[in-house]
Structure 1
Amino acid sequence: MRKVEAGPFNRDILMKSVWSTMGLMVVLVFSAWTSESPPASNLLLQYCSDFRQIQMDVRDCAITPDSAARAFKQNIDNIRKVFGEDSCNNGAGYVYPVKGYRPKESIGGRGRGYRPDGFDLFDMDVQGSHPAHDLFIRDKNKDGLDDYTQQPADILAFSSGMVLACEKNWTVDSDRRGGNWIWIYDPCLNGVFYYAHNRKVVVDPGQWVEAGEKIAEMGRSGFNANKHRSPTHLHFMYLQIDAYGQPQPGNTYDWLLEARPVD
């Protein structure tokens, strides 16, 4: 476990992130917990942009793991301050992310595909872990469409939260493994969900989504997911923010089994 101590880190990210949060809090105290939130403020969008930039810098090896960890902590701390813990209301509960499917028929390997050992969000040299569950659909010919409906499967928000970042423009000549992805911050859990390999993303950074709301369509985007050997699936990962402001893998298997399916 990486413990983040005070120290120098990416100055640009810090300077962008330390603006006063008061204006943003005024907006969100009255609106962030409802499905009718106003347009995101510039400050909130800056926090979302900072989150994405950290991920891009890690991907491109433009930042050291320790510097990325410190920048991540500062970014999450800023976002966390926006949401009052006493305001949390997760009345919608958890919704199974793949519309039209039940957990037991869709979760790959009955949960045995979850392998968190060695995971480090900030170190691209660390490989071999899979701190996620792959959620599958019926697609024998691997065309990205449900065999029964002949339509892409809708991806739904597992819980309510704020969209931090997304990728919408993956192309087949890209070597990026996540394809079209979405990061969503759940303030009730103080954790982030990652939805990858989507065909189409229909949400934007700074947007509040309710549990069960459509956020994407399942696809085969991503360097490995696009290969014919790979079954069509959603890569679903949850990272819990620990006491040091760092993302630690969390096994969502039991949550998924108990989640409400949507037909």
Structure 2
Amino acid sequence: MTIKRVTGILLIIITSGWTNESLPSAKLLEYCNVFRQIQVDVRDCVISPDSATRAFQENMKNLRAVFARDSCRSIDSTYFVFPVRCYLPAESIGGRGRGYRPDGFDLFDMEVKGSHPAHDIFIRDKDKDQIDDRTWKPVDILAFTSGVVLAVEKDWQYDSDRRGGNWIWIYDPCLDGLFYYAHNNVVEVQPGQWVNAGDKIAEMGRSGYNAYKKRSPTHLHLMFLKLTPEGLPEPQNTYDWMMMAAVKE
């Protein structure tokens, strides 16, 4: 890694309010790499749910130690930016929030099916060409809150049977939880990068096994997993947050 790259990551952390300089920035990237590897191993069924759980808890413990949470701002309506540019929550959140179904979710077990601990946010794209029917432009995906990018997938292919497509995981230290943005077309962030609420992180797409099918409307899949004190991920409904979030033109 170049000195310029390491310095850049450290600067991002410091200017965002995180000043724990005792841990080298290279460690942050190491934790990001571990996070991604756990997701890949679970996806490929090469790790047991119990082993994945333990590895995840240890890695999140390390990530938590990077950030001084006493520098967090208050969590109010100004904390959030609606993650789809130029769309209102009331017109775009699928089923007015009724699509959120957390029961049975397990991040570490690919055999578990039937839950949907997330919200799908739809755009006007009748011909499903990933272009907004009103503006004739791609639709920007914005960071819902501020946080550090932990892992991304950029290379999904249309003939892949993998769900999620091109995805992004972001850790918000103040909420102490993980945001998952799925089905993107173009991903524009990198692991270790700090993003502020409202920053462009991707362009909406149709990537992912189910999202690519013609029957599926073009949408963003947004999930939030709140971490327990033990570092375990539990789904939390973001509907009320989205309804009060600022809308960015």
AA partner of residue 242 (structure 2):
L
Identify the residue that residue 22 of structure 1 maps to in structure 2: none
The normalised TM-score by structure 2 is 0.90
Runs of 4+ in 1 over 4 A off after TM superposition: 26-29
Three-state SS of the structure 2 residue aligned to 1:79 is: helix
Residue 29 of structure 2, aligned match among 40, 45, 56: 45
Question: CA–CA distance in 2 between the matches of 1:257 and 1:31?
Answer: 29
Q: List runs of 5+ in structure 2 lacking aligned partners.
A: 1-9, 19-23
8 Å contact kept, 1:162–1:184: yes
Q: Mean alpha-carbon deviation: is it higher for 199-208 or for 141-150? A: 141-150
Q: Give the direction of change, closer, same or farther, for the CA distance of 1:27–1:151 in structure 2 (3 Å limit).
A: closer
8 Å contact kept, 1:161–1:187: yes
Identify the residue that residue 85 of structure 2 maps to in structure 1: 99
Q: Are positions 1:208 and 2:194 aligned together?
A: yes
Q: Are positions 1:57 and 2:57 aligned together?
A: no
AA partner of residue 152 (structure 2):
C
Question: CA–CA distance in 1 between the matches of 2:83 and 2:12?
Answer: 26
Identify the residue that residue 5 of structure 2 maps to in structure 1: none
Q: Are positions 1:130 and 2:128 aligned together?
A: no
Three-state SS of the structure 1 residue aligned to 2:73 is: coil
Q: CA deviation at 1:28?
A: 7.4
Three-state SS of the structure 2 residue aligned to 1:119 is: coil
Three-state SS of the structure 1 residue aligned to 2:131 is: coil
8 Å contact kept, 1:28–1:82: no
- What are the within-5 Å matches in structure 2 for residues 1-263 of structure 1? 30-33=14-17, 41-89=25-73, 93-263=79-249
Question: CA–CA distance in 1 between the matches of 2:74 and 2:164?
Answer: 28
Identify the residue that residue 21 of structure 2 maps to in structure 1: none
The normalised TM-score by structure 1 is 0.86
Question: CA–CA distance in 2 between the matches of 1:61 and 1:158?
Answer: 30
8 Å contact kept, 2:13–2:194: no
Q: List runs of 5+ in structure 1 lacking aligned partners.
A: 1-25, 35-39
Question: CA–CA distance in 2 between the matches of 1:152 and 1:173?
Answer: 22
Q: Deviations over 1:195-223 (max 9, x none)?
A: 00000000000000000000000000001
Q: How many residues align?
A: 235
Q: CA deviation at 1:90?
A: 5.9
8 Å contact kept, 1:47–1:75: yes
8 Å contact kept, 1:28–1:83: no
AA partner of residue 108 (structure 1):
G
Question: CA–CA distance in 2 between the matches of 1:201 and 1:97?
Answer: 14
Question: CA–CA distance in 1 between the matches of 2:110 and 2:171?
Answer: 22
Cα RMSD, aligned residues only: 1.9
Three-state SS of the structure 1 residue aligned to 2:37 is: helix
8 Å contact kept, 2:42–2:110: yes
Q: Give the direction of change, closer, same or farther, for the CA distance of 1:68–1:144 in structure 2 (3 Å limit).
A: same
Q: CA deviation at 1:88?
A: 1.4
